[in-house]
Every structure is written in C-alpha cells, then in structure tokens.
C-alpha cells in the first residue's frame, strides 16, 4: 500500500486521507456517473471502487472534487449531535461528485453558498446528509445519488435560496427536506423535489414554514412500501427564530406553499 495525495486543484484536505484501492479498482465504477442528464429512478446502489480514510473535514474549493466512486469514511460518532463536523465543507460554487459517504459520516456535507452535489451516496446518514447555507439568493442542486437511514432529516436548509433535488432515492428517514424551523436567522426558502423515489419507513417529504413564505414544488414522486399512504408529502409549520420547537400548521397541497397535486405522486 502506498499513500496517495487526494489534494486536487481547488481542494484541500484538513486531516490525513489514505486511499486503499479495491481489488477491481481498474474497472469502471459500477454506480451511475451522473452528468447533465437525468439518471433512471431507483438506480442500483453503487459499489465502491476504493476506500478513503478521512481524519478531518475535507475542504472542497471552487475547483470541486470528483471522488471516482470511492467510499469516504469516517468522521463523527454516527449520532444526532448538532456539534459534529461535516465530512465535506464546500465553498461557494463548488461541486462534489461521484462520492460514496460511509458511516459514521458526521454532519455529512455543508454548503456555505451555492453548490452542486452530483451522484453522491450516503450509506448511513449521521446527523444530516447535507446542510445548505449562504446569503442572497443561492441556488443549490442535488442531482442523482441516494441516502439511507436518516433518523431525522436528509436535507437541511438553513440559509436562503432554492434547493433543487432531482433523480434521487432515499429510504428509512424522518424528513426528506426541512426548511429550518427555529434558526436564529430566518428566510423565505424554496425547494423543488422532482423525479425521486422514496421508500418507507419515511415520515414526510418536505417540511416548510408557511409564515416565512416557503414553497415546496413536488413532481415525479414515487413512494414505495406505503399502502396506507402514511408518508406526508408536504408538512406545514409555523417557524420561529427563538429556538423553540415549531408548531405544525397542516398538510396537503394548496396554491401558495405546498405546490403539487395527487397526480404528481405515484405509489408502488
């Protein structure tokens, strides 16, 4: 075995990262390598092409990081503590692609401004899979990939702007997307969720704060293993900036906040 540097243009690793190539490392990745085109729904879970040991948060600059379908592991304790460090911290405008995140994954991925997560897979979500921050009107894109076992949230939206999640799959989660309900700085936030496959157990697809004018647009949603229709497509809350638990304010489509119809959801 020999140590190989993972430091690429625009990417700095805080902590030692060691790569162990898999026995078939020379083979093409078995997972989908998503580019600008949409991947099929519920694509096969990818097989890692190698292993990267991570001892600290990886800082991803504007040049981005393409992981080549290697598994990055591990950081944190796998729990829900809010103070855990992320495995990846993306600068404004950065792209993280073709990465499998092993467990424990700490606080997953942080985006400090507009970012793209393309073909990123979370084997076992720790605190959150990804958290979106920033200022102004940032645009965040999640294209392809998947997440498993998020006892709380998959995607957490703390800053302003719009999060678009497409061609994604998730299973065994509490909330798929949540606009922060009690952050000290609150904003009007938007989410677009399209062409995703969500498998129960799962509590709700989108949680938004109607008092701040949030919107959730849903289309091409496939829900699996939910004969009783228990998964809530859009949960409305009254958010606050005091840290108190937000109160629920109803569910279901409307013409203002929860923008979808029954025809946008298919059950399998």
pLDDT at residue 82 in the model: 59
pLDDT at 248 over 60: yes
pLDDT at 58 over 80: yes
pLDDT tens sequence across 59-91? 999 999 999 999 999 886 655 555 688 999 999
pLDDT band at 42 (very low <50, low <70, confident <90, very high): low
Q: Are residues 140 and 88 in the same domain?
A: no
pLDDT at residue 27 in the model: 34
The phi-psi region of residue 243 (left if phi > 0; otherwise alpha if psi is between -120 and 50; otherwise beta) is: left
Q: Are residues 132 and 260 in the same domain?
A: yes
Q: Is residue 164 a part of any domain in this protein? A: yes
The residues near 144 (Cβ < 8 Å, ≥ 6 apart) are: 32, 34, 38, 39, 43, 118, 119, 120, 166, 167, 168
pLDDT at residue 83 in the model: 67
Among 70, 93, 127, the domain-final residue is 127
Q: What is the mean pLDDT of residues 200-217?
A: 98
pLDDT band at 262 (very low <50, low <70, confident <90, very high): very high
Q: Are residues 91 and 147 in the same domain?
A: no
Among 71, 106, 127, the domain-final residue is 127
Among 78, 95, 127, the domain-final residue is 127
pLDDT at residue 14 in the model: 42
pLDDT at 6 over 70: no
Q: Are residues 110 and 137 in the same domain?
A: no
User: Which domain CATH number covers 219?
Assistant: 2.160.20.10
- For residue 104, whether the previous peptide bond is cis, meaning omega lies within 30 degrees of 0, is yes
Give the residue numbers spanning the domain of 68.
Answer: 1-24+45-127
The residues near 184 (Cβ < 8 Å, ≥ 6 apart) are: 241, 243
Q: Are 194 and 220 in contact, with CB atoms under 8 Å apart?
A: yes
Q: Are 76 and 84 in contact, with CB atoms under 8 Å apart?
A: yes
Our count of domains for the chain comes to: 2
């Amino acid at each position: 075995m020999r140590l190989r540097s993972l430091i690429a243009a625009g990417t700095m690793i805080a902590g030692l990262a060691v790569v162990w190539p898999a026995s078939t490392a020379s083979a093409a990745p078995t997972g989908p390598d998503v580019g600008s085109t949409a991947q099929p729904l519920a694509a096969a879970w990818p097989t890692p092409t190698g292993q990267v040991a991570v001892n600290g948060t990886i800082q991803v600059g504007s040049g981005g990081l393409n992981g080549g379908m290697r598994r990055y592991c591990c950081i944190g304790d796998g729990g829900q503590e809010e103070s855990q460090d992320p495995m990846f911290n993306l600068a404004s405008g950065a792209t993280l692609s073709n990465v499998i995140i092993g467990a424990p994954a700490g606080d997953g991925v942080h985006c400090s401004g507009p970012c793209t997560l393309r073909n990123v897979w979370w084997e076992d979500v720790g605190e959150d899979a990804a958290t979106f921050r920033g200022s102004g009107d940032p645009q965040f894109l999640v294209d392809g990939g998947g997440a498993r076992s998020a006892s709380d949230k998959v995607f957490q939206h703390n800053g302003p702007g719009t999060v678009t999640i497409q061609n994604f799959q998730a299973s065994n989660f509490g909330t798929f997307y949540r606009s922060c309900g009690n952050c000290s700085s609150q904003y009007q936030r938007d989410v677009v969720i399209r062409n995703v496959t969500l498998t129960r157990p799962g509590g709700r697809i989108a949680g938004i704060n109607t008092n701040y004018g949030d919107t959730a647009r849903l289309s091409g949603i496939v829900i699996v293993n939910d004969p009783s229709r228990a998964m809530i497509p859009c949960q409305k809350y009254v958010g606050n900036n005091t840290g108190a638990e937000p109160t629920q304010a109803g569910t279901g489509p409307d013409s203002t906040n929860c923008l979808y119809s029954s025809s946008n959801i298919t059950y399998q």
